[in-house]
Structure 1
């Protein structure tokens, strides 16, 4: 690991808005009250990377709480540092493997989940790692409120198609969907937030896929 990554790992451990690994289990069922100090809704960004979506959503919606989740502390560092520097109080970060999410959140604790440009895990042998495979969807359903909302933004056409297949196989309700977000009528101030990776994809004219759904039938 390079010196810069090591520095960021060390620094992120001192950030008051970052919770790491097993420490997050202490907040299970109490993220709003014990971490944010309020009773506002909890919104998650999974595989948040540098946390651009988490931070920008928090700016747009101060009446809600936002948690970015990723395992790579050197990436979380950027979003967490920005939030601290700008005094954004309704945003935090949790460094865990997403596979362990049920150890950190209680049933019906979360109002909304964003999945933004995750690794599509294209190899068939890595299907179980895809963040919208049935086992992950079961976990999200458990921690989401009954009317909770799911969002996916991805440049990967194959991963998007896979996700649509899972949604339809489970007969879930889709609210919005497009295979070319920026040529659709869906773009608003929320969907126009761009991550580091999204900017890279757009610079080479890749189309962005988006789908919004719920587990409530």
Structure 2
């Protein structure tokens, strides 16, 4: 491991806004000690909690926290070296309403209690075109989200991927989930506002390559059995399945695009 990563990990150990609960720690401690107590033990208020899942560098969580001091934001990701960027920004700016949680999204209902979360943002995730159960908007994950969301809590998906957008749209329609906003070209739709206009480093790279940004916001009610849509979707042609290498005419041969 490089010295830069080691320094970032050491920095994060000292940052009060960073919480790290990998599976081994959760198992050893019999659960997350913050579960059900995020507002009480960290934020010291009763404001709504909003999660950004797969937060990467944490730009969206920080941007939302800056704009909306009446809500509490928690960026969640397993990769601490990326998360360091947002955590450093939050620390330097003294933002009291943002935190970062380093853990697997698969453990999310071990980190938060029922009804503890009001909204979930999913920003530019890997579309997982080959593995349905790994898609962050699959029924598997939505069921996990319902374990922590308030009844009718909102899920926001912002993505460059036509594949993931089409899949999520079909899933929402199949299960008759209430849709609040939906567009396959966000910045040409008139929907873009102070919230949606926050752009991460990764999103800017997609926009510079002429891709449109898709957005859907829907409510997730309790007590509804979710089913997967029976649909065949054309894969995204501009990316490899592992998302690490972008295949587009605009790119020079061998050029790579870094993730969020």
Q: TM-score range by the shorter chain?
A: over 0.9
Q: Where does residue 213 of structure 2 map in the other structure? A: 208
Q: Which has the higher contact order (CA 8 A, sep 6+)?
A: 1
Q: Where does residue 57 of structure 1 map in the other structure? A: 64
Write out aligned runs for 1:57-206 (5 A).
57-122=64-129, 124=130, 126-206=131-211
Deviant stretches of 4+, over 6 Å: none
Q: Where does residue 16 of structure 1 map in the other structure? A: 16
Higher Cα Rg: structure 1 or 2?
2
Q: Distance in 1 between matches of 2:41 and 2:171?
A: 35
Q: Distance in 2 between matches of 1:162 and 1:12?
A: 36
Q: Distance in 2 between matches of 1:215 and 1:70?
A: 22
CA deviation profile, 1:65-118 (whole Å, cap 9, x unmatched): 000000000011000000000111100000000000011111111011000001
Higher helix share: 1
Q: Provide the secondary structure at the position in 1 that maps to 2:64.
A: helix
Q: Distance in 1 between matches of 2:6 and 2:157?
A: 31
Q: Distance in 2 between matches of 1:3 and 1:163?
A: 40
Q: Displacement, 1:3?
A: 2.2
Q: Distance in 2 between matches of 1:2 and 1:210?
A: 36
Alignment partner of 1:47 is 2:54: yes
Q: Distance in 1 between matches of 2:120 and 2:188?
A: 24
Q: Distance in 1 between matches of 2:189 and 2:112?
A: 34
Q: Provide the secondary structure at the position in 1 that maps to 2:91.
A: helix
**TM-score, with normalisation over the residues of structure 2?**
0.80
CA deviation profile, 1:35-65 (whole Å, cap 9, x unmatched): 2111111000000000011001001110110
**TM-score, with normalisation over the residues of structure 1?**
0.96
Q: Distance in 2 between matches of 1:137 and 1:165?
A: 14
Bigger mean CA offset, 144-153 vs 88-97: 144-153
